[in-house]
Amino acid sequence: MRKSQSQWNPIGDDEDSHLGDFIEDTTLELPLDSATSESLRSATHDVLAGLTAREAKVLRMRFGIDMNTDHTLEEVGKQFDVTRERIRQIEAKALRKLRHPSRSEVLRSFLDD
């Protein structure tokens, strides 16, 4: 039977290294990933700022931007007291605006080639 090893057990002759020193912490975000996420968040906010307040709110709710979850057309419609079809129209118009080259270029750099 194998004996359990503590992450604090010394490794090597010098005993200044421990097993835990060599175990990857998968809960930490890599600095590059963190910087990219923050840049994407900032760029998304900048792009949404170019829309009307209503369009930006609809997209935030539909795609879960700055929220815990995304929302259905029905849920967003209730929030604005309009039909889900009207929300679909507002969403479509906002997405058309975001597809314009002057706006889409800001976010396009975050897509993997």
The answer to whether residue 18 is domain-embedded is no
Q: Per-residue pLDDT tens for 61-111?
A: 999 999 999 999 999 999 999 999 999 999 999 999 999 988 888 888 877
How many Å apart are CA 62 and CA 59, to the nearest integer? 5
Within-domain flag for 99 = yes
Question: Which band of pLDDT confidence, cut at 50, 70 and 90, is reported for residue 36?
Answer: confident
Q: Spell out where the chain has E strands.
A: 10-11, 17-18
58 lies in some domain: yes
The CA distance from 48 to 41, in Å, is 11
**36 located within any domain:** no
Q: What is the CATH number for 68?
A: 1.10.10.10
CA distances from 5 to 9, 15, 23, 25, 42 (A): 7, 15, 13, 17, 44
Q: How far is CA 80 from CA 17, 57, 58, 90, in A?
A: 59, 10, 9, 11
Where in the sequence is the domain holding 76, given as residue range(s)?
52-113
Average pLDDT over residues 44-50: 93
pTM > 0.95: no
Please provide residue 14's backbone torsions phi and psi, each rounded to the nearest 5 degrees: -80, -20
Tell me what the mean pLDDT of segment 44-54 comes to. 94
Residue 23 lies inside a defined structural domain of this protein: no
Kindly state whether residue 22 falls inside one of the protein's structural domains.
Answer: no
- Report how many domains make up the chain: 1
Domain-located, residue 63:
yes
Q: What is the pLDDT of residue 17?
A: 75
Query: What radius of gyration do the chain's Cα atoms show?
Result: 23
pLDDT at 104: 84
Task: Indicate whether 8 belongs to any domain.
Answer: no
pLDDT at 55: 98
Q: What is the pLDDT of residue 7?
A: 65
